[in-house]
Amino acid sequence: MKQRVQTLLQGILGREVVLEKPRDRSFGHFATPIAFSLAKELRKSPMLIADELASSFDGHEEFSVVEAVKGYLNFRLSENFLNEYGTWALDNPALFATQENNTKILLEYVSANPTGPLHIGHSRGAVYGNTLYRLAQHLGYDITAEYYVNDAGNQIDLLGLSIQLYAQENILGEEVEYPESYYRGDYLDSLAKGAIENFGKEILNDESRQKELALWAKDGVMELIKKDLADANIVFDTFVYESSLYSEWDRVMDKMHANDAKAIYEKDGKIWLASEAKGDDNDRVVVREDKRPTYLAGDIVYHNQKFERGYDHYINIWGADHHGYIPRVEAAVEYLGYDAKKLETLLAQMVSLLKDGEPYKMSKRAGNVILMSDIVDEIGADALRFIFASKKSDTPLEFDIEQLKKQDSSNPIFYIQYAHARIQTIISKSSLSKEEIMSASLKGFDEDADNLMFDALLLPEVVEDAFNSRQVQKLPDYLQSLAASLHKFYYDVRIIGRDDEAKLLKLLLVVALSLKTGLGLLGIQAKDFMTRKED
């Protein structure tokens, strides 16, 4: 709707137009400060320019009112415009809030080590990334969701050791001395039993076979991770394994050196990336004294592979602890001969869980972390997805899981779902057919109904803004606001049995469409029937 109005205004005024929504709806649906930007060019006051521009909209049936107010041009959309757009949306629900974009995007997120099940910290980046992915798809972008599997390095070796220690203590009944760092949790039980089945018990005490055990086990852990993600309605298009990349390291290192002779240098028996020259705090080691590539080397090869695949834009979603890692990767991208501005890194902050106001206690089976699967089991995937998408990803998040179990208006996802279900219940009580409702006109509403319809038709603007700003929390904020407007309208207006029942029900269908579409973009299926403890 905003896009249509903006395009119309640009055609009339012959220049780019910034549109705003007045806080006070009495000033209209949209406003533009264009008179202020023209004041210097035309050498007139903004108020005089706005008065003159207002008259240029005479005869445009898209607007019922265009007026100048203190230098702003305020627009109120006409009944014809809203009726046409609302009816089109109901006739074309799959196209509502969609766009066409030719940009190809590679989105990498989660990328947790395949050494254990996903914990609650991974969940935030997972939900944020998947919501961004859904928004981009809806807006017509050619986007690929990718998981980078860190299946090389010390963390994989430690997986083999952890399985052996777990099995020695819990299956073989031996006394075990645990090192300071190792993996814990009940998931090791199935891995240990599977190892016995595949290799025999002897592998559980053979230190020389820890690597072999780990490489076998990480595939099982990845299946566990994929299941945790699928349970939260998250599926990836592609997986890239770190272990498959290092054969390319020499070629990639030569490529950087060919682009800039100073990109790579040797010092103290190590090979360094000259990242400080590109804005990093220090240069970084990419090959150790023993000739083993560092983790950064794997990331350099991976990003070279990303850019060689020819996307238009690349998005990484990393944990907040990776903030300092960004400059060194961007430096490598530049040395590889690519434009680092095409690489965008977003950060997901940590999560704190409460239960009845107290810190959430970790289960013994989970080891030293709170498992994503435990929270999904306790509050459901819908609540987890909603709460993790409801706040800016780069700010800390704290929530009480007991709040998200409540079946009343204090639970935001229940409140929104109940608004959608309430509409379906009202319609089911009507004696009117679907054809009678759909053929009604969305005209002649009072101010409250007009405002409700305008709010419902704002979804396309919210979807576009949420993706472009990378602030997916704007969508749950909008859905909460729309649900509140619907509930208030329900209490204030009797619908069934009125002369204008058909058009009021059609209005509610527009609201339901926005709620259902918005929830779908959050990875949540709208519910048609619900009950609640209080009204």
CATH code at 58?
A: 3.30.1360.70
Phi/psi-derived region of residue 357, left when phi > 0, alpha when psi is between -120 and 50, beta in every other case: left
One domain, residues 73 and 158: no
Instruction: Identify the domain boundary among 50, 77, 104.
Output: 77
Q: How confident is the model at residue 210 (pLDDT cuts 50, 70, 90)?
A: very high
52 is in which domain, residue-wise?
Answer: 2-77
- Among 375, 391, 393, residue whose Cα is nearest residue 383: 375
One domain, residues 67 and 167: no
Q: How confident is the model at residue 67 (pLDDT cuts 50, 70, 90)?
A: very high
Residue 23: predicted pLDDT = 86
Residue 503 lies in a domain: yes
- Among 289, 301, 307, 199, residue whose Cα is nearest residue 241: 301
- Dump pLDDT digits (tens) for 68-105: 999 999 999 999 999 999 999 999 999 999 999 999 99
Residue 331 lies in a domain: no
Q: How confident is the model at residue 363 (pLDDT cuts 50, 70, 90)?
A: low
158 with 120: CB under 8 angstroms? no
| Least confident piece of the model among 58-72, 149-163, 283-297, 354-368 | 354-368
Number of domains into which the chain is organized: 3
Q: Token pair of 123, please?
A: 């969940």
| Least confident piece of the model among 150-159, 362-371, 458-467 | 362-371
Q: How confident is the model at residue 313 (pLDDT cuts 50, 70, 90)?
A: very high
Mean pLDDT (the chain, rounded): 93
| Integer Cα distance of 164 and 169 in angstroms | 9
Three-class DSSP category at 103: coil
Phi/psi-derived region of residue 310, left when phi > 0, alpha when psi is between -120 and 50, beta in every other case: left
One domain, residues 411 and 517: yes
453 with 81: CB under 8 angstroms? no
pLDDT surpasses 80 at 33: yes
Residue 535: predicted pLDDT = 44
One domain, residues 64 and 164: no
pLDDT surpasses 90 at 336: yes
Q: Tell me, what CATH number does 486's domain have? A: 1.10.730.10
pLDDT surpasses 90 at 506: yes
One domain, residues 62 and 169: no
Q: How confident is the model at residue 25 (pLDDT cuts 50, 70, 90)?
A: confident
Residue 302 lies in a domain: no
Report, as an integer, the average pLDDT of 310-334.
95
| Least confident piece of the model among 18-22, 314-318, 340-344 | 18-22
pLDDT surpasses 50 at 382: yes
One domain, residues 516 and 422: yes
One domain, residues 60 and 161: no
| Least confident piece of the model among 283-292, 362-371, 412-421, 425-434 | 362-371
Residue 126 lies in a domain: no
Instruction: Identify the domain boundary among 45, 77, 109.
Output: 77
Residue 76: predicted pLDDT = 92
Residue 411 lies in a domain: yes
- Dump pLDDT digits (tens) for 229-264: 999 999 999 999 999 999 999 999 999 999 999 999
Residue 188 lies in a domain: yes
Instruction: Work out the angle between the directed axes of helices 210-231 and 187-199 (0-180°, nearest 10).
Output: 130
Residue 367: predicted pLDDT = 59
Percentage of the chain modeled with pLDDT above 70: 98
Residue 132 lies in a domain: no
Residue 59: predicted pLDDT = 80
Instruction: Identify the domain boundary among 199, 231, 263.
Output: 231
Residue 451 lies in a domain: yes
One domain, residues 413 and 514: yes
